[in-house]
Chains A and B, each alone.
Chain A
């Protein structure tokens, strides 16, 4: 089975800090995604990537950037963390259409 690993389950950061959320998948998937999940709002797409060094904005990219230097790793970067970025962050990868997405366990980020 595909495994998607997010490096941290829980993070607490201070306002203004630069925050890196790491995601690694072990099945050579080309497509990777970052979502944030908030109560009542469901999952919202932040960024996605079709290939190494390729990235596309999702629905809510403001305040975030991403990096995909290697196929297996997709990093989400909060350039200057703010309290409204407190959320659950989920990474996902997919082999191709119809295969379904594999999600990581999530990182619950609290910005204080």
Chain B
């Protein structure tokens, strides 16, 4: 069994300040973890992924995430928010190997103020 919890439904930051979007997961197996971004009325775009290689994963648009097994977390960060980062972000867990049907978090809406 697997599950993912995004701890904040909304995060509000000012442009130029750091971004932290929190994700905790549970999995009976070695997980693969992903972050996706969805801009209004668009599909989901892959930001970054963890698949048991380096625990600090760098993605597109300056985002990165760190896999912490002891804390079962995969938080998404960015040093400096940009207005264009305003979107919905989804944390996703899937099982490594075998069936890999993903489980999605419910999403975090990132609001960026000028």
Segment 14-32 of A: residues with Cβ below 8 Å from B:
none
The 8 A CB mask of B67-99 against A (1 = contact, 0 = none) is 000000000000000000000001010111100
The answer to whether B43 touches A90, judged by C-beta atoms less than 8 angstroms apart, is yes
- In the complex, what residues of B have CB within 8 A of residue A106's CB? 41-43
Interface size on B, residues (CB 8 A): 24
A103-B45, A108-B41 known; A97-B32 Cβ under 8 A: yes
The answer to whether B104 touches A43, judged by C-beta atoms less than 8 angstroms apart, is yes
Instruction: Give the interface size class of chain A.
Output: 20 to 34
- In the complex, what residues of B have CB within 8 A of residue A103's CB? 36, 43-45
The 8 A CB mask of A90-108 against B (1 = contact, 0 = none) is 1010101110111111101
The answer to whether B105 touches A42, judged by C-beta atoms less than 8 angstroms apart, is yes
Q: Give the tally of cross-chain contacts (CB within 8 A).
A: 51
For residue B34, CB closer than 8 A to chain A, the reply is yes
- Closest residue on chain A to residue B97 by CB atoms: A97
Complex CA–CA separation, A42 to B94 (angstroms): 16
Chain B residues packing against A (C-beta within 8 Å): 32, 34, 36, 41-46, 49, 51, 90, 92, 94-97, 100-102, 104-107
Shortest 9 CB-CB distances between A and B: which pairs? Answer: A98-B51, A103-B43, A42-B106, A103-B44, A100-B46, A105-B43, A43-B104, A97-B100, A100-B49
Interface pairs (22), CB distance under 8 Å? A4-B43, A41-B106, A42-B106, A45-B101, A58-B101, A90-B43, A90-B44, A92-B44, A94-B100, A98-B51, A100-B49, A101-B34, A101-B36, A101-B44, A101-B46, A101-B92, A103-B36, A103-B43, A105-B42, A105-B43, A106-B42, A108-B41
Chain A residues packing against B (C-beta within 8 Å): 4, 6, 40-43, 45, 48, 58, 90, 92, 94, 96-98, 100-106, 108
Other A-B contacts than A43-B104, A103-B36, A104-B43, 11 sampled, CB-CB below 8 A, are A4-B43, A40-B106, A45-B101, A90-B44, A97-B51, A97-B100, A100-B46, A101-B34, A103-B43, A103-B45, A106-B42
